[in-house]
A and B are shown apart, each in its own frame.
Chain A
Amino acid sequence: MTEYDIAIEVDARGSFCPGPMMELIKAIRQSDVGEFIALFSSDEGTRVDVPAWIKKAKHELVEIINKDGYDTYIVKKLH
């Protein structure tokens, strides 16, 4: 697994959609351009919403890691 220099970790496990996505948006607002954010989510709806939002907001979904029963979304803030 690639190591990332994560600026903000968001643990949204146990929270249902849209909770994880809104937490990610908050983290995007708080982070600086070029920083990596890690979002942990166990919600299936997040798999659809988060990639779609990242595409519209023109950030980068670097990787989705599925491990230990939850997904980790690595997101890079591009602007």
Chain B
Amino acid sequence: MKKVVILGGGFSGLATANHLVRKTKKLNTKVILIEPKEYNVYEPELLVWVFKDKPFSSLTKPISKILSPRVTWIRSEATKIDQNENRIFLKNGENIIYDYLIVATGARMAEEKIGAICADNVCHFYTPEGAIHLKEALKKFQGGTIVVTPTTVPYKCPPAPIEFTFLLDKHLRKKKLRDKSQIKFLYPLSRAFTMKEPAEKIEELFKKRDIEFTSFFNFETVDKENNKVISLEGEEIEYDGLVFIPPHEGFDVIKESGLGDREGWITTDRHTMKHTVYDNVYAIGDATNLPVSKSGAVAHFSSNILVKNLVSEIKGKEPKAKYNGLTICFILVSFHKSMLLHFSYDYPPKRYGLNSSFLYGFFKKLFKTVYFQALIKGYL
């Protein structure tokens, strides 16, 4: 019997586990998922949820309801991976031998690195705890300057800070606080987004909505006593509220096991999804060092390739499937409108539509259902 261990049960780990167990039904294979958390959180909606009056439970589902019963779920986490012995050591004292390992540990929010842990008027929406804090801070906000900035790259869902900024503008207008508020968006590049064409549209909308944009602002530190954020380029910008995107990095177990690069991202072949050194190790999702966005869309498309390749290997065939970097990306520009981009390793971003309430409707009303009912279950 071949034993496949999947380390991490976020979106990519769960989708891969469910897909793989279906594809290996007739093969002599055991699929084991290692994940300590009880719930999966629908992360794409965190940045909308902070403005809405909904319970946090509206964003979550128990893993027991998502994961196929044919997957063996161990509620623990890895403390060490020994790829020479093909063995994983767990926090609960167990250790597991694998034939194949799929690492889906995701990204760690390394807030401590910049001394900007969510507190008082400084926060983010990248973790449930952060989003809950931010929601309360927004309720108390009565006017002033709110600064939005990433702190490092890469980070999950590149348009998220832009989307948050647009939603913040709408929220403050609705609350009749916009006249008493300034919104400042700081970005490390010369333009407001990584890609040129959408960046032009975003900057145009920023101007129209009186959102101040500062380019080439590479976050260096935050002076919480004086409410100032300071850049590598030497600029200082004052705030009453700071919404930052926390630094992301791989988990310590990846760094310490020698599977990752300096920042703990797993060195992954961009086409096959295999580890660049260890032949029986694959990686998926935000934990990889793929030169594309850290997003659910990338995890979804590349997971299909990973499963095809691993099933081929289990059958004793050569893994031939290749991921081409396909990414699809929604950018919300208000609570009711969005633009949609697609791109890959081979072609730059193309826009499907702009300010389309239809696309927004698709994203908002259908996508969460698609996520829980199809994508995370390894269909599509």
CB neighbours of B189 from chain A (8 A):
18, 21, 49
Indicate if B188 sits at the interface (CB-CB under 8 A): yes
Nearest to A55 among chain B residues (CB) is B216
Inter-chain contact count A-B, CB under 8 Å?
A: 33
Cα A16 to Cα B291 in complex, Å, equals 9
Query: Main SS of chain A's interface residues?
Result: helix
> Are A58 and B216 in contact, CB atoms less than 8 angstroms apart?
no
Determine if B190 and A22 form an interchain contact, defined as CB atoms under 8 angstroms apart: no
Question: Please, what's the 1-or-0 string for A16-32, where 1 marks a CB less than 8 Å from any CB in chain B?
Answer: 11110110010011000
Q: How far is the CA of A71 from the CA of B153 in the complex (A)?
A: 23
Q: Determine the chain A residues whose CB is within 8 A of the CB of B196 once the complex forms.
A: 45
Q: Which of A29, A48, A56 contacts B216 (CB 8 A)?
A: A56
Question: Does B234 make an interface contact (CB < 8 A)?
Answer: yes
B232 at interface by CB-CB < 8 Å: yes
| Complex-state Cα separation, A21 to B302, whole angstroms | 26
The residue of chain A having its C-beta at the shortest distance from the C-beta of B233 within the complex is: A57
B188, B194, B196, B216 — which one has the most chain A CB atoms within 10 A of its CB? B216
Within 8 Å CB of A15, what residues of B? 291
A43-56 interface code vs B (CB 8 A; 1 in, 0 out): 00100110011001
Number of A residues near B (Cβ < 8 Å) is 18
Q: Is the CB of A16 within 8 A of B190?
A: no
Q: Contact at A25–B232, with CB atoms within 8 Å?
A: yes
Question: Count of B residues near A, CB < 8 Å?
Answer: 13
Distance between Cα atoms of A18 and B189 in the complex (Å) = 7
Decide yes or no: A56 and B194 within 8 Å by CB, A25-B188, A25-B218 being known contacts. Answer: no
Q: Which residue of the partner chain A has the closest CB to B231? A: A57
Max count, chain B CB within 10 A of own CB: residue among A15, A22, A28, A45: A22
Interchain CB contact under 8 A, A57 and B232: yes
Q: A18-B153, A25-B188 are in contact. List 19 more A-B contacts (CB 8 A).
A: A15-B291, A16-B348, A19-B291, A22-B153, A22-B188, A25-B232, A28-B232, A45-B196, A48-B190, A49-B189, A52-B190, A53-B190, A53-B216, A56-B216, A57-B216, A57-B218, A57-B233, A57-B234, A58-B234
Which residues of B are in contact with A by a Cβ distance under 8 Å? 153, 188-190, 194, 196, 216, 218, 232-234, 291, 348
A-B contact pairs, 6 of them (CB 8 A): A18-B194, A19-B291, A22-B153, A25-B188, A52-B216, A57-B216
